[in-house]
Amino acid sequence: MQLHSLRRITAIGGGHGLGRVLSTLSFMKHKLVGIVATTDNGGATGLLRESQHCIAWGDIRNCLSQLVEQPLAAEVLNYRFDCTSSLHGHNFGNLLLYTLDQLSARPLDGIQLLSRLLNVDNRILPMSECPTDLIATTNDGIQCHGEIRIDKLPVMPRKLSLSGSVTATPEAIRHIRSSQLILLGPGSFMTSVMPPLLINGVRDALRTTQAKVVFIDNLVDENGPAGKLSLAEKVGFIEKQLGKQVIDLVLSNKQEKDLKLPVIGGLQSDEDVYYRHNTSNLLAKLEEAAKQLLVESA
């Protein structure tokens, strides 16, 4: 089965990794949905969150900037005010999304409005419309709050969780359940891939969906404890957090005997940025995965 014939593909993650996947599959139009992590508390996003107690807009803006067809539009979204401005440290795209949220009934409405203005046909959904932070519980039982601190942990935590009472965006749950293919990653394992999977609604939907799930590994090991994990350990960590093995296939250049899942290798890097996937190659590998996992419907 070819990707363009699928009724729905859902990609889950954050940062540049999710944006890369979405831009690779942007030809899917409205049949492609991105569920974006909203726990970032660093940089421009962190400044805005600290002052306004809002969701993290940075990864959403990043995804939109990789989906727009006009290079100038991407530059405008990613524009960062310099030290000569009273807005020093802030990002225009983040401020725009926050402003649209203030004028809308819910964050999703603002995202959809900006998507229409930018002629982005793919759907971008926040994992939750409630502000929340990532929490890591270490093996000693100590809780570490916020992605910035979690990224600096010397070893992998025992578990990850979210602060407060966090509900999934209802549309995200619906799309997970109606998808034929779900993609996890690439990106920072703890702070991009994992946060959406920690919400009860998303977790339950992944447990029960009929979709096939593909984990896309990073081309280069990330800094921090997650970069030291084997493929099998990453898959095992996701299984432990979800309470069920949901991954059906892995895209990775690593081959491990301990991993009891099919692996498709041969991933190539972008010519300009060595740690980002080449979009043409990634598309070919995703097509291969779809053919391997999905049977043509009668």
pLDDT of residue 298: 32
- 240: which 2 tokens? 């432990």
Burial class of residue 25 in the structure, from the number of CB atoms within 10 Å of its CB (0-12 exposed, 13-18 middle, 19+ buried): buried
d(CA 269, CA 56): 28
pLDDT of residue 234: 97
d(CA 209, CA 222): 30
Task: Give the closest residue to 177 by CA, choosing from 25, 33, 29, 22.
Answer: 33
pLDDT in tens, the chain (298 residues): 899 999 999 999 998 999 999 999 999 999 999 999 999 999 999 999 999 999 999 999 999 999 999 999 999 999 999 877 788 889 999 999 999 999 999 999 999 999 999 999 999 999 999 999 999 999 999 999 999 999 999 999 999 999 999 999 999 999 999 999 999 999 999 999 999 999 999 999 999 999 999 999 999 999 999 999 999 999 999 999 999 999 999 999 998 988 999 999 999 999 999 999 999 999 999 999 999 999 754 3
Task: Give the closest residue to 182 by CA, choosing from 190, 172, 192.
Answer: 172
pLDDT of residue 295: 74
Which fold does the domain 2-40+127-296 belong to in CATH?
Rossmann fold (3.40.50)
SS3 assignment, position 244:
coil
Specify the pTM.
0.96
Q: Which residue is it, tokens 């405008």?
A: 76
- 278: which 2 tokens? 């080449």
Per DSSP (E only), the strands in 53-179 are 123-126, 134-137, 143-145, 159-162
Element (H, E) at 214: strand 212-216
pLDDT of residue 86: 80
Which residues are CB-neighbours of 80 under 8 A, at least 6 positions away?
44, 89, 90, 91, 92
